[in-house]
Structure 1
């Protein structure tokens, strides 16, 4: 049976994982810090939103490119320059927003440039987990632990920013974000696990996620594994769309009931459900194919969100979002696992980055779509529409179910044939 203690037992596992978490905490603090700092310096919500949009767009769109450098040159040679440039640009942004008077075009340009250099610490750590725990069960447990920890970082980040803003200017949060990512990256790349590019044979890798007897993962020409993990990217985009739309729908529903302050605990219920689901997912030794599990998890998320649209009051909505959260971390964890298993050995960081990109791009699209729909169509229909991509991605379970259901019949026919031959 997998266990979280076993995941952290290998040499350098705790050091490497802890370093990655320090650096990734920066991603939980930088968004809110940047919005508050730009708003404080310019007095304009429009400029703050534009700067954040540019930062997010360049960070998301260029994520696979940055991950490709990690695959090619290894974490030490690729991450240090990225983190150095990223931290420097954040410090310049902190200085530029410390006092009013900085030209808005300069702030926007600095935000876009900083986003372009965001080091892919999450995808890199998920690639390093394979070196630390190559066994399939432990690797799945490690990915679950990683996903739960990331969820908690995005809860702790805004709390840290709130504490900093209470005793310093908002730009201090941007500077702290720079120091966190630099310290975490340096600590990560100095770990012995991070030495050199990730190289394995192009055959079946250690920790292959397919159960015995299941069909091989997608391959390209000449049997080379695909660099484009299709199913996990599609499902991750659907999950992102659902989550991005859900945030705005919860705000609208709370306003409809005259309790805008309830937004915080309803979204906290979603995070709590995700943490519980992620921990359970990593503690169970699964026998079903990972691709089937991913499709069913996505369908479960979609059904839960569709039901949330029928909630008659906010307590019921909170319970429904908590139920939906149970599927979030397992779905994303399984997406990363399948992407890792599907990718060529020299493209695993890039494959994880594509899943990351899909989640973030889907979240942005979901927020934008719901922003157009709210006020024009009933909220229950809005919930159903944001749940639809996750539900539709569950249809990918059908081919896997067909293969699983046919496999025993083929075995029975082979055994029957062998018996007939023996009697003859």
Structure 2
């Protein structure tokens, strides 16, 4: 496959704007298509949960099916990303999207009426998760191809992270609107349509043409697991572990103080709003410290503010605390992805981002289970402190394992196959 039609633009200012990101040739079209496809991930989780619950009449069965769905999607993500790196997005993503969408339609058919077998549903959802295209890691690899300037790339990653945050907030709301007009499986059909149409538009963009394909004279495959990924993966896993407890902790906070459950979405929304604001601010700053030095500080900030949130006397002070904690979330993830991109070889960018993404989700799954066991056995403020302590301890443990690609000498790059 040939390279993108337009070369990377030279930086036009010392502090490029977000508008400059979207002025990069083909950026708007490619980003919009990727967001349309990724919106499917914002709608599918709730749609699967509600559809399986309605079909089986069992919360235990729906929980087990969701666990299988999440495990297959997360554990196999690096494998799917490796296929994108090896064969390119056009030859890899579209078959995954078609298979994933077809299985979503099959799941919709199985759950349209009550009485479906939980075993059958678990098998179908496992296959559905296994085929989920790694759209987020691929889009970040495309950004790295499109944008040559590091400051502009930081802005692009920040914009991407904030948009993804908004997708996972708006996705469930969209499902809620659909439920007024049809049963929960309609959400599965919507997710399938978004995935196929968005992925088709994404892979046909000129910007995607050369992403993931080895360059002339380059290597086709990376050699082993890059040790430099350990720092961003550890940070992502620690952040996921800490944040996954928040939903349960906020719910327990409201119920222990006899507040209406309606305050819970507002408090969680404050966390998302803080994350969006922090992500935009992070992208706007021309940081002097390298990503490997900023990452532990962002992690520590998230941990300290999350620990202090347990001292909130009421729901609105807790919402304010969640806003402050959220302000460190998007910067942490954006910096982790930047560090992964710096560390990875050019032919393994998608895979590197997928490992970080998988680490976030693995941490989230573990944290939810742990929080469920601790609530009721440990004072609620202590649960907040423990959640924050996870982030702080991870921050202290985050150390760069190897020099980043930018810091390697020419001899080192040749030896490492970069």
Counterpart position of 1:63: 77
Whether the 8 Å CA contact 1:277–1:325 is kept in 2: the answer is yes
Alpha-carbon contact 1:123-1:349 (below 8 Å) kept = yes
Q: Give the number of equivalent residue pairs.
A: 382
Deviations 1:226-261 (A, max 9, x none): 266011000000110111011111111111111122
What does the per-residue CA deviation read over 1:9-59, in whole Å, with 9 as the maximum and x for residues that have no partner?
A: 111110000000000000000000011111112211111111111100100
Q: Is the counterpart of residue 122 in structure 1 residue 136 in structure 2?
A: yes
Larger radius of gyration: 1
Q: Give the aligned partner of residue 240 of structure 1.
A: 240
Matches of 1:227 and 1:179, distance apart in 2: 38
Aligned counterpart for 1:42 among listed residues 41, 47, 56 = 56
Match of 1:84 in 2: 98
Q: Quick one: structure 1 residues 86 and 228, their matched pair in 2 at CA, closer, same or farther if it must change by over 3 Å?
A: farther
> Aligned partners of 2:284, 2:25: CA distance in 1, in Å?
21
User: In 1, are the aligned partners of 2:267 and 2:318 still within 8 Å (CA)?
Assistant: yes
Larger displacement relative to structure 2 (141-150 or 241-250):
241-250
| Aligned counterparts of 2:312 and 2:213: Cα–Cα separation in 1 | 48
Residues 65 and 102 (structure 1 numbering): CA distance in 2 closer, same or farther, change over 3 Å?
A: same
Q: Is the 8 A contact 1:227 1:351 kept in 2?
A: no
Residues 145 and 89 of structure 1, relative CA distance in 2, 3 Å threshold: same
The equivalent of 2:382 in structure 1 is 381
* More helix by percentage: 1
Separation in 1 of the partners of 2:217 and 2:391?
Answer: 32
How far, CA to CA, are the matches of 1:19 and 1:324 in structure 2? 31
The answer to whether the Cα contact below 8 Å between 1:202 and 1:345 also exists between their aligned partners in 2 is no
Partners of 1:395 and 1:202 lie apart in 2 by 40
CA displacement at 1:111 relative to structure 2: 0.8
1:208-240, CA deviations, whole angstroms, 9 ceiling, x for partnerless residues?
xxxxxxxxxxxx99xx99266011000000110
TM-score (norm 1): 0.87
The answer for unaligned runs of 5 or more in structure 2 is 1-14, 402-418
Paired residue for 2:11? none
Q: Would the alpha carbon gap of residues 40 and 339 (structure 1) be closer, same or farther in structure 2, given more than 3 Å must change?
A: same
Distance 1:47 1:191, change over 3 A: same
Cα distance in 2 for partners of 1:348, 1:380 equals 40
Q: How does 1:275-314 map to 2 (within 5 A)?
A: 275-314=276-315
Residues 347 and 397 of structure 1: is their aligned pair in 2 closer, same or farther, counting only changes over 3 Å?
A: closer
Partner Cα distance (2:180, 2:355) in 1: 37
Distance 2:28 2:240 in 1: 29
CA distance in 1, matches of 2:323, 2:215: 40
Partner residue in 2 for 1:414: none
* Partner SS state of residue 360, structure 1: helix
The answer for the alignment partner of 2:257 in structure 1 is 257
1:73 matched to 2:87? The reply is yes
Unaligned runs of 5+ in 1: 204-219, 401-424
CA distance in 1 between counterparts of 2:147 and 2:129 reads: 31
User: How do residues 125-204 of structure 1 correspond to structure 2 at under 5 angstroms?
Assistant: 125-196=139-210, 197-199=212-214
Partner of 1:108 in structure 2? Answer: 122
Change beyond 3 A, Cα 1:192–1:112: same
- 1:2 Cα shift? 2.1
1:229 equivalent to 2:214? Answer no
In structure 2, relative to structure 1, the CA distance for the partners of 1:201 and 1:277 (3 Å cut) is farther
SS in 2 for 1:167: coil
Alignment partners' CA distance in 2, 1:343 and 1:201: 18
Give, in angstroms, the shift of residue 399 of structure 1.
8.2
Counterpart Cα distance in 2 of 1:73 and 1:229:
22
